[in-house]
Amino acid sequence: MFTNLATILRDSAYAVYAAFVWPGKFLLSLTVAHAPGLTEWLNIDNGESPVLMTFILSLVSWFLVIALLTFGLRIGRHVTRTLGAIFRSGLFRMSDYLRGHKTALILWLRDKFPKRRKADVDTIPMVEFDDLDMAVLRSASAIGPGLALAAPDLAGRFKLRPSQVQRSLKKLSKNQMLTQVIGSTDGYGNYRLTESGTAYLAMWQRQTAAN
């Protein structure tokens, strides 16, 4: 039993070693076949491969294989992340486009059927927003879906006091263009864009472009 186990272990070790030194033997055979001058300079015997040289060539070969695989995996992950970001961006743009058309359809129906205005649960409040309000909406849309901003974030950009920007944020939140989220920035609440805000902004941008 122990003799069989020893034989199996020895054969396994030979197999692992043979697999490891195969690249070195292959490179040496190519050298002997295609570069006789280099073969003579390296003093390679055609009958038997030098053990040390075979080991070194095999070690370098496996190192290069591992390095190439690692590089390939990194490139693959980078490409996957890039494609995922493009896909998510495409979904968001498509969703934004569809919401804009939905809003336009609702407004058209409101004009055609004025008696049913109170029954339209998806209508957008017809509130007049000033330039600051629209700038805040555009800023909220620019940072991407799900992200939040606060008055101090916009005060420096607009060259206004945070309290002025806060009034606009509260106005937009009251009209369901923004919604307040958990957390604060320098004592001011954080807000993110709602679906109604996205739809309203898309409609406003189309009307601005048409004019």
Average pLDDT over residues 120-126: 48
The candidate with the shortest Cα–Cα distance to 139, out of 192, 209, 98, is 192
Does 140 score more than 70 pLDDT?
yes
Q: What are the tens digits of pLDDT across the range 154-205?
A: 888 888 898 998 999 999 888 888 888 888 888 888 998 888 888 888 888 8
Query: Would you give the DSSP letter of residue 145?
Result: T
pLDDT above 70 covers a percentage of the chain that reads 77
3-state DSSP assignment of residue 211: coil
- Please give the full DSSP string across 76-128, using - where no structure is assigned: HHHHHHHHHHHHHHHHHHHHHHHHHHHHHHHHHHHHH-GGGGGG-TTPPP---
Contacts 24+ apart (CB under 8 A), 2-7: none
The candidate with the shortest Cα–Cα distance to 133, out of 158, 111, 114, is 158
Does 129 score more than 70 pLDDT?
yes
CATH 1.10.10.10 boundaries in the chain: 124-210
Q: Is the dihedral of CA 116, 118, 124, 125 positive or negative?
A: positive
> Mean pLDDT: which of 41-45, 99-103, 109-113, 141-145 is highest?
141-145
Give residue 211's pLDDT band: very low, low, confident or very high (50, 70, 90). low
Mean residue pLDDT across the chain? 78
CATH dotted code for 124-210: 1.10.10.10
What are the respective helix, strand and coil percentages of the chain, to the nearest 5? 75, 5, 20
The candidate with the shortest Cα–Cα distance to 168, out of 191, 146, 147, is 191
Does 119 score more than 50 pLDDT?
no
